Amino acid sequence: MDPSAPSGSSADASASSSSSAVEDLAPGMAAMSLQDRFELLRGIGEECIQEDELMNLLQKKPVPICYDGFEPSGRMHIAQGIVKTINVNKMVRAGCKVKIWIADWFAQLNNKMGGDLKKIQTVGRYMIEIWRAAGMNLDGVEFLWSSEEINNRANEYWPLVMDIACKNNVKRIMR
């Protein structure tokens, strides 16, 4: 059910393999100029603090990775369905791979859906299906469930959580 995107090539790959990686992700995109890719991505946000960094990223990485995430918490708002679909499709058209984090454990911590993880995960799958129905190009999208990623890397995650917890207090974190 979780669509997976093809992996991109490294920044130091040859031009032909870079073009191939981009073409695999977004057919027809390889013909898009660097400036067109930049303008397509730049049009997504209200502002871009470091436009030169975005241009540099597009020059050096044939398939940049974009991240987004959400807590499944019930019905999807129309803007969440349509606007996210439009923006993700622009990112994919510009040659990006999009990773969307489904923060199921964090929704449980925030008592969404009464804290019932099965309901939260059902709502997460429902949201993926809404984006599919709205026309999101899922070939360029990878969905990651926080519960699976944390469990798969528990030996890295929990020591980091403990380190942060020991070095900080609630007052400092709230600042």
| Domain encompassing residue 66 | 15-174
How many domains does the chain fold into?
Answer: 1
Task: For residue 2, tell me if it sits in a domain.
Answer: no
Element (H, E) at 41: helix 34-42
Confidence band, pLDDT 50/70/90 cuts, at residue 4? very low
Across 45-83, b (16+ Cβ under 10 Å) vs e yields eeeeeeeeebbebbeebbbbebeeebbbbeebeeeebbe
For residue 118, being part of any structural domain is answered with: yes
Is residue 103 a part of any domain in this protein?
A: yes
- Return the CATH number at 83: 3.40.50.620
Instruction: Give pLDDT tens digits for 50-69.
Output: 999 999 999 999 899 999 99
Percent of the chain residues topping a pLDDT of 90: 70
| 74 Ramachandran zone, left/alpha/beta (phi>0; psi -120 to 50) | left
Q: Domain for residue 6, yes or no?
A: no
Token pair 């469990």: residue: 151
Residue 103 has pLDDT above 70, yes or no: yes
Confirm whether 7 is domain-assigned.
no
Residue 115, classed as helix, strand or coil, is helix
Does a structural domain hold residue 5? no
Average pLDDT, the chain: 86
The answer as to whether 10 is a domain residue is no
Q: What whole-number distance in Å separates Cα of residue 70 and Cα of residue 101?
A: 6
Q: Does residue 8 lie in a domain region?
A: no
